[in-house]
Amino acid sequence: MTDWYRRKTWTKTDEDEFFAKLGRARKDGRAQYLRIQAVNLIDTKETIQLAAAEMLLNKILTEYPENRIEKSSTLNALGEIYKLRKDFDKALGYFKQSLDFEKEFPNVRTSAYLNFSEIVVQAEKTAFYDEVENLLTDEIQKETLKFPFQNYIIYSVLAIISDFKEDLAKAKYYFELAESNATTQINTLWNPQKKKWGIVKERKEWLDKLTKRK
């Protein structure tokens, strides 16, 4: 049986049942339940569910403004909604807000740095290329574990930016790293029992096209 806060549909009955359960939940956990439910609706990529997810996420920001644990994840999820809607300007705004809050409250980190970087190159927002290059270079230098799918995106974006700047040697270097991470079959950085976790299961066609355009 699916948890009451992990629904993939959002009918009137779903909504009524969800908020009835939410009202009985502990107050300090309600923002988390709202976010988890929103993320599950975003995963469907359906118009009605995306609208419901946006409503739930905005409730977190308006009704639990002091909840710092959920804020960056909430802003990142709102960015993902607008990314799916192809409203790249609004998506970038939310991803940037998420990144800015993570500087203020680094206890929680999201995929906003990847999402922001992807949108910048996908929408060819060249004014942000330097910012993204610095962001991803700093990320590479951090002593944190990264899965192959994260490295695939990081190095693909850096290859695109380097090519735009006509630094062909660096573009080739990043392209080869992206390709290496995209084609790896196991993840050796983490639990050996979970070697398939974090590998690239489905490549991003638009990203590969931009990377290989040079």
pTM of the model: 0.91
- Say what the pLDDT of residue 194 is: 59
DSSP conformation class of 163 = H
CA distance 156 to 103: 24
What is the maximal distance between C-alpha atoms in the chain? 59
Quote the DSSP letter at residue 198.
T
Burial of 103 (0-12, 13-18, 19+ CB in 10 A): exposed
If 0-12 CB within 10 Å is exposed, 13-18 middle and 19+ buried, where does residue 123 land? middle
Question: Looking at residue 190, what is its pLDDT?
Answer: 59
Task: Name the one residue in this structure whose structure tokens are 């118009």.
Answer: 47
Which pLDDT score is estimated for 2? Answer: 83
Torsional sign, CA 84, 202, 115, 192: positive
Residues in the chain: 214
On whether the CB atoms of residues 64 and 33 are closer than 8 A, the answer is no
Written as tens digits, the pLDDT of the chain (214 aa) is 789 999 999 999 999 999 999 999 999 999 999 999 999 999 999 999 999 999 999 999 999 999 999 999 999 999 999 999 999 999 999 999 999 999 999 999 999 999 999 999 999 999 999 999 999 999 999 877 788 899 999 999 999 999 999 999 999 999 999 999 998 877 666 565 556 667 878 888 999 988 875 5
CA dist 187 and 8 (Å) reads: 30
